[in-house]
Amino acid sequence: MPRDSRTPLIQKIAKQAHITFKGWKPSTSGDNKLFAEQQGELVSLVTAVRAADLKIAPRKSNSSTGAAELQSPPVTYMHICETEVFSMGVFLLRSGASIPLHDHPGMNGMLKVLYGKVSVRCFDKLENNLSVGSAPPQLEPPLALYQTSSLRRSVLRSVVELSETSGPCLLTPLRDNLHQIDTVEGPAAFLDILAPPYNPDDGRDCHYYKVLQTVSQGGPEGKSNEEQQGEEEEEETWLLEIPQPDDFWCGGEPYPGPAVSF
């Protein structure tokens, strides 16, 4: 039997992620045939991964609302590996938990559900933000004057529900770069690959946003997933950059799966 068949799948994924994103540049990736082929190989590997491959047991829903649960983080993270090229880990979300709308500046990403089900809403910022001296949009509720500098024009690209049988959800610096992740009907976990990793010193800090609603048209906050998924045209909307929400924080826990090495 070939030796490669004994290599853990997560090691193969890490190796292919390194190959795919090493030397990656935003200016050339769109027309780079080699990058597309390498990314396709990575997608194939990530599509096959399951919770059992990482020795992660699906969590059960907990209906308790005791003090211990209320004080525990709604989301935890299992660190697998991080290099200058990419980072990889697993996010575990309690039933009813959400990862607020946030961005990935200049980054690629892959999200693969390991158990449970999540709803992912993807946005992109548009270039023509509110210019100095221009009239702000009519929002409900209206913003304070000082908040207009934090307004970002954006477009809702897609709303999808993903389970362990779904392929990975991809993001690039220019497409689906902002997303919000909500659990659906119970706890969930997903493998997360980011390339390059977050690094504030290199201009890759994480920013959080709130979807706003204009007076003239209802925003996506008031629509069901089915209504949003059924929309054929992408919807332009406004986002407000905000601090990390008080009700969201992420804890850490040990990764129990096969070790990854380079």
Q: Is residue 79 helix, strand or coil?
A: strand
Rounded-to-10 torsion of CA 91, 261, 20, 53: -50
Provide the whole-model pTM. Answer: 0.85
CATH of 72-216+235-252, one of 2.60.120.10, 3.30.70.2190, 3.30.300.30, 3.40.50.300: 2.60.120.10
Full 3-state SS string of 122-178: EEEECCCCCCCCCCCCCECCCCCHHHHHHEEEEEEEEEEEEECCCCCEEECCCCCCE
Which of 30-34, 41-45, 159-163, 216-220 is predicted least confidently?
Answer: 216-220
Q: Is residue 100 helix, strand or coil?
A: strand
Nearest to 206 by CA among 104, 90, 118: 104
5-50 confidence digits (pLDDT tens): 699 999 999 999 999 999 887 665 555 888 999 999 999 999 999 9
Question: CA geometry: angle at 98 spanning 94 and 103, to 5°?
Answer: 135
Instruction: For the chain, give every domain's residue range.
Output: 72-216+235-252
169 vs 151, more confident: 169
